Amino acid sequence: MLIIMGAMSYMNNSLFGFTEDLTQEEKELVAGTLVKKTFERGSLINRNDDGCLGLLAVEEGQLRVYIVSDAGREVTLFRIDAGEVCVLSVSCLMDSIVFDVVIEAATDVCLQIIPVDVVHRLEEQNTLVGLYLYKTAAEKFSEVMWTMQQILFMKVDTRIAIYLWDESGRLDTDVISVTHDVIAHHIGSSREVVTRVIRYFEKEGILSPGRGKMTILNRNALKKLAYPEM
């Protein structure tokens, strides 16, 4: 379902952090073009080679931003939660971003979208908009570096433990709805390797894997594997 938001609705519900720096004319431009759109879980929202969709803000749900290797292996760079903005969806406006990314609905999502031509016009008219885009991108870059550090320097069992521990904390539950394939995509490994590690965790009494879910049995042991320095 696609909804064109009215000016008053936009002013009351905008999730974009630069709105206070816009002129009245610019606010009216955004209010008249902002759309709200919903996507089902698993939907591809945007790919670099498809062009820029526009500037996305997550009203409800979560987005996953990932890259795909030539062999088809996926690596999750970071996720965008409710209340956050995804600037990589307008990467065509930022010359310093040259790698291809895919943006996917990790859950059912509701997005606020400013069309790319409007973002481009705002960026040309108001330098604070461009600063906002690059500042937001730079903040996510630290998460990308953390992901690369895990892939390059951490063992697979540590990366899986970090993923499960972080998901448990984010969802506030010991029962995580996730498959081996999803874990493999998030950590940049293969399903077969993930399955071997999960079996080891099960043997050690750390996890109880089920159909489409993982139940944490020993939080202390999982935390020690994920963050031994804590």
Please state the domain count of the chain: 2
pTM of the model: 0.68
- CA dist., res. 30 & res. 11, Å (int): 10
Higher-scoring residue by pLDDT: 44, 152: 44
Average pLDDT over residues 117-136: 90
At residue 99, the 3 state secondary structure works out as coil
Report residue 101's pLDDT band, with 50, 70 and 90 as the boundaries: confident
pLDDT at 1: 45
Using alpha carbons, list the distances in angstroms from residue 48 to 52, 92, 225. Answer: 7, 8, 36
Residue 200 lies in domain: 154-226
72 HSE (CA, 13 A, CB side):
3
Higher-scoring residue by pLDDT: 136, 149: 136
Please enumerate in sequence order all residues whose Cβ is within 8 A of that of 70, keeping only pairs 6 or more positions apart, or say none: none
Q: Which among 136, 152, 168 is the end of a domain?
A: 152
Report residue 55's pLDDT band, with 50, 70 and 90 as the boundaries: very high
User: Is the same domain home to 25 and 97?
Assistant: yes
pLDDT at position 116 over 60? yes
- CA dist., res. 95 & res. 99, Å (int): 10
User: Is the same domain home to 134 and 171?
Assistant: no
